[in-house]
Structure 1
Amino acid sequence: MSTRETLRTYLFGTLIPTPAESWPGDEADLFEAGMDSLRVMQLLVFVEDKLGVNLPDHEVTPERIGTVSALVGWIESHKKSP
């Protein structure tokens, strides 16, 4: 499963109260859908545990976590090269 698919499955299966099939797209605002500071912390733990990517807390900004596409880009930028 790709980073995007894994992230979408977790977001819409656990964190966000909006079903994935009714989500308007990967550029839609996650905060408008119910993302909050507690969910952000849960997301960071998930990314580290399941994807093996450590996202530094000091880099958390609304621009990096506000959409699925932004999150995927941020995660991909921190993946270690093989």
Structure 2
Amino acid sequence: MVESVACTAIRKIRAECLTAWAQLMEALVAERRPDRPVPPMAGTGAIGAVVHLLASTIEGGRDLSSMSGILADTAYRPLPA
């Protein structure tokens, strides 16, 4: 994910994947809570937080296996519950 920014061709695919992931998250929250609109860019912000956490963990030489609970929580916290 992090290294893909260096390659133009991969960067386009990366952007498409992250956009689809953000839209999926927003759609799932909207379906679960139709009474609470999802703020614009909420899914993008949540996905950005996850990507940053992964990059920071890798750069810090820490083990990714300990991140699963943190990543799930971070991905959904910015979205309306």
TM tier, smaller: 0.3 to 0.5
Greater Rg by CA? 2
Q: TM-score, normalised by structure 2?
A: 0.37
